[in-house]
């Protein structure tokens, strides 16, 4: 679904899915009508989920092109076999002909109760554990497709009820301080966007909730 926010060039774009052990939703808002450089996706297979948040450098058509390349590469991955660091390396090669992007990549393994993340560039993210305590996912400088560092993987225990929240730099940092409470992922993502998006850049936030299935 999509609703207007501040005129025809600032329409809200949403995506997501809900089912099994995980619900995810993204809400985003392009700076201008000539393209949207921010994107997010979650791919689920069996007990594994692969998460990506992308901010194509700058905004407009060239930023959107970088984001689309990253998404296309992401869509071919198998969440049960993918490895965070090798996927990040592959994205770096794929995005070389583009203007580049900040990328957060994560794998959630619900069977082992563990998640691994790597964040390069200016995407901010936290995991809300039991809805009350948030742990920041560290990011390092760099631009995928242009200049990539090799950060350590961030590993964290996860369990049903935990919520991952991530946003591009079009979101004011305070969005990470808002507890998710029990609201559905899509409602929370849209609320964060409405409250914390800047008007100076593409903006997007992603919410991933691990559902209590039993």
Identity of the residue, 11 or 85, whose beta carbon is nearer to Mn ion in the bound complex: 11
CA distance 3 to 21: 28
Q: Which of 104, 201, 204, 210 binds Mn ion (CB under 5 A)?
A: 201
Binding segment (CB under 5 A) for Mn ion, from list 44-52, 131-139, 170-178, 183-191: 170-178
| Number of residues binding to Mn ion, judged by CB under 5 A | 5
Identity of the residue, 137 or 197, whose beta carbon is nearer to Mn ion in the bound complex: 197
CA distance 23 to 18: 4
Binding segment (CB under 5 A) for Mn ion, from list 9-17, 106-114, 134-142, 194-202: 194-202
Q: How far is the CB of 168 from Mn ion (least distance, A)?
A: 5
Q: How far is the CB of 191 from Mn ion (least distance, A)?
A: 20
The verdict on 55 binding Mn ion (CB under 5 A) reads yes
**Which strand (E) or helix (H) includes residue 24?**
strand 22-29
The verdict on 64 binding Mn ion (CB under 5 A) reads no
CA distance 189 to 192: 5
Binding segment (CB under 5 A) for Mn ion, from list 8-16, 47-55, 159-167, 187-195: 47-55
The verdict on 169 binding Mn ion (CB under 5 A) reads yes
Q: How far is the CB of 52 from Mn ion (least distance, A)?
A: 15
Q: Which two tokens stand for residue 120?
A: 């390069």
- Let me know the angle formed at the C-alpha of 123 by 39 and 191, rounded to the nearest 5 degrees: 65
What secondary structure does DSSP assign to 38-61, as a single string? EEEEEEEETTEEEEEEEEESSSSH
The verdict on 162 binding Mn ion (CB under 5 A) reads no
Q: How far is the CB of 167 from Mn ion (least distance, A)?
A: 10
CA distance 139 to 71: 20
If we measure between CA atoms, which residue out of 213, 207, 214 comes closest to residue 23?
207
The verdict on 124 binding Mn ion (CB under 5 A) reads no
Q: Which two tokens stand for residue 62?
A: 């060239």
Positions that interact with Mn ion (CB under 5 A): 55, 168-170, 201
């Amino acid at each position: 679904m999509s609703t207007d926010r501040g005129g025809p060039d600032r329409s809200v774009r949403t995506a997501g899915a809900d089912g099994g052990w995980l619900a995810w939703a993204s809400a985003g808002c392009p700076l201008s009508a000539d393209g949207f450089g921010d994107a997010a996706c979650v791919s689920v297979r069996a007990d594994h989920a692969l998460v990506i948040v992308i901010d194509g450098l700058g905004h407009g058509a060239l930023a959107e092109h970088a984001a689309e390349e990253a998404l296309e590469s992401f869509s071919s991955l198998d969440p049960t076999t993918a490895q965070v660091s090798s996927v990040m390396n592959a994205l770096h090669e794929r995005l070389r002909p583009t203007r580049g992007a900040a990328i957060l990549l994560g794998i959630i393994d619900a069977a082992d109760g563990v998640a691994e993340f790597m964040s390069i560039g200016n995407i901010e993210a936290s995991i809300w554990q039991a809805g009350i305590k948030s742990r920041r996912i560290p990011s390092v400088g760099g631009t995928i497709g242009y200049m990539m560092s090799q950060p350590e993987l961030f590993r964290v225990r996860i369990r049903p009820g935990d919520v991952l929240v991530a946003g591009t730099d079009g979101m004011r940092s305070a969005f990470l301080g808002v507890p998710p409470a029990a609201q559905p992922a899509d409602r929370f993502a849209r609320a964060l966007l409405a409250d914390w998006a800047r008007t100076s850049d593409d903006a997007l936030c992603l919410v991933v909730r691990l559902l209590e299935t039993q």
